[in-house]
Amino acid sequence: SAVISQKPSRDICQRGTSLTIQCQVDSQVTMMFWYRQQPGQSLTLIATANQGSEATYESGFVIDKFPISRPNLTFSTLTVSNMSPEDSSIYLCSVETDSTYEQYFGPGTRLTVT
């Protein structure tokens, strides 16, 4: 398995500002993912972040709005830029273990934009 932590756990931000979310995993993994979950909804993939390469974004998500860094095999950040109230959501980091290909999730970051 993998133990994942995220910071911050929650934040309230003003429109037009940016927030960087950190994801730390307790073991080295190749594949990391960032998802968004609207209240009462399922998970939507934002991007896949592999160490050593550019993140791959899903349709509807762009790098200028959601820049991602993946500096090593245990850490990643997602920035939500120029926020609007529509960005209010839960942002989840996920990893796929290299040995078993199981995917585990962090506790999430609950973002409210006012």
- Tell me how far, at minimum, the Cβ of 106 lies from another protein, in Å: 5
Query: Are 26 and 2 a contacting pair, CB within 8 Å?
Result: yes
The least distance separating another protein from the CB of residue 43, rounded to whole angstroms, comes to: 5
Q: Is 53 in the site for another protein (CB under 8 A)?
A: no
Q: How far from each other are the two terminal CA atoms of the chain, in whole angstroms? A: 37
Do 49 and 93 meet the contact criterion of CB atoms below 8 Å apart? Answer: no
The strand pairing partners of 6, in sequence order, are: 23
108 interacts with another protein by CB under 8 A: yes
Q: Is 45 in the site for another protein (CB under 8 A)?
A: yes
Binding of residue 101 to another protein (CB under 8 A)? yes
